[in-house]
Structure 1
Amino acid sequence: MEIAHPNSLVLKPFPNGITVSLGKIAEKIEFSLKAVGVDFDAIVVLLDRERRALPAADIAVELQQRLAELCPGRSFVIGVSDIQVENWILADVDRMRARFGNEAYIYAGDGVGGKRRLGELSGGESFSPRAKAELLKSCKASSIRASSASFDRFCGAANFEWFWLAA
């Protein structure tokens, strides 16, 4: 977010993972927003589905409901990558082919371990969170949206101007 939307405030990662309840995630988001003490027009929450049993779309709906209860009057845009944010990176097939020099690359789809697949595609390269953010920023949002249902849902929920999503 910091890289793709320069006027954003990014709260560092909250607890996530298969064992962390959506209620706990919502409570941590509420706590963080109270700590910041600033009212925002839109609050974007991005998390990985990981290996949760619920589909990404259902996680987004449930988290939206919990946040509405805890933070009435605030507007949230929930993005749940299926399975990991690396899946969104991998969904831009043209960018991946160009970046890694693999013309045969085909996106395996949402729900496939993106972190592992990105490592394989890159020949074992390790990506820091900032490097992944830069790589995601270098991707074309419209290409990702065409290939990833979870990213398409996120874009559809984002009801504000964000230059990167228009690309």
Structure 2
Amino acid sequence: MPKPAFIVDGHLEFSILQAICKDSPLRRLNTNGDSVVVSKMAEKAAPVIRLLGNRYYPVYIVSDREDREESCEAMEAQYLSELKLRGIDITQIKIVFCDRMIENWIIADVEMIRGEYGDCVSAGETEGCDGKTKLRQIMSGAQERYSETVHGLRLFKRCNPARIAENSPSFRKLVLALEDRCEWLARHGVFCASLVDRQA
């Protein structure tokens, strides 16, 4: 099976994927922020994809929806369209947007969050909200101040991907896109076959 490559927006996504997909090439675009339009993201991603050549398949692009009004699905479709306009073979590309940011995937492991900070979050309030603000609120109750660089990777590494997938459709989409290529998911017993019916 060919080795995949990953392209991400920001520092936390880079650190997380570096930790869980250690053997795959990883590139960071620095295009995070809801003021960055999808066409600009594609403009920066296209030359990176070309530099990766045909040595890796698929090339995964993981980005944040943040405060944009468009749905994750609409942004993913627009991103692919913009890449195609720039001459990229989009059959090798898989794009997943977090809804709304990587912190939403962290708080989607409700059991882990409750174990760390008490009964402060429920499964129905983890996707589509401002995940970073929600995590700050959760941690402030324990007299801690959330820092992406200090807490983000540590908390994500404590997460169980099966529990994240249970509560986060956008993370579930990533799991399905990975097509059982991720050892971290396999170690936790998370495989595509167990999620297909739920995604549908």
User: What's the TM-score once normalised by structure 1's chain length?
Assistant: 0.86
Most deviating of 78-87 and 39-48: 39-48
Q: 2:165·2:172 contact (CA, 8 Å) conserved in 1?
A: yes
Q: 2:134 aligns with which of 117, 122, 125?
A: 117
Question: Across the two proteins, how many residue pairs are aligned to each other?
Answer: 166
Question: What residue is the counterpart of 1:5 in the other structure?
Answer: 21
Q: 2:135·2:146 contact (CA, 8 Å) conserved in 1?
A: no
Q: 1:83·1:111 contact (CA, 8 Å) conserved in 2?
A: yes
1:121-162 per-position Cα deviation (integer Å, ceiling 9, x unaligned): 112423234741332232111111110111122222222410
Q: 1:78 aligns with which of 91, 95, 101?
A: 95
Give the alignment's Cα RMSD to 1 decimal.
2.2
Q: 2:40 aligns with which of 3, 17, 24?
A: 24
Question: What residue is the counterpart of 2:66 in the other structure?
Answer: 50
SS of residue paired to 1:39: coil
Letter of the 2:74 counterpart: D
Letter of the 2:121 counterpart: Y
Distance 1:130 1:38 in 2: 36
Distance 2:162 2:135 in 1: 20
Q: 1:64 aligns with which of 80, 88, 102?
A: 80
Q: Which one has more relative contact order, counting CA pairs under 8 Å at least 6 apart?
A: 1
1:72-100 per-position Cα deviation (integer Å, ceiling 9, x unaligned): 16622212111111001000001111122
Distance 2:47 2:150 in 1: 25
User: Are residues 1:154 and 2:174 paired?
Assistant: yes
User: What's the TM-score once normalised by structure 2's chain length?
Assistant: 0.73
User: Are residues 1:41 and 2:87 paired?
Assistant: no
Question: What residue is the counterpart of 1:97 in the other structure?
Answer: 114
**Structure having the larger proportion of residues in helix:** 2
Structure 1: which 5+ runs fail to align? none
Q: 1:68·1:74 contact (CA, 8 Å) conserved in 2?
A: no
Residue identity (%): 23
Q: 1:91·1:144 contact (CA, 8 Å) conserved in 2?
A: yes
Question: What residue is the counterpart of 1:163 in the other structure?
Answer: 183
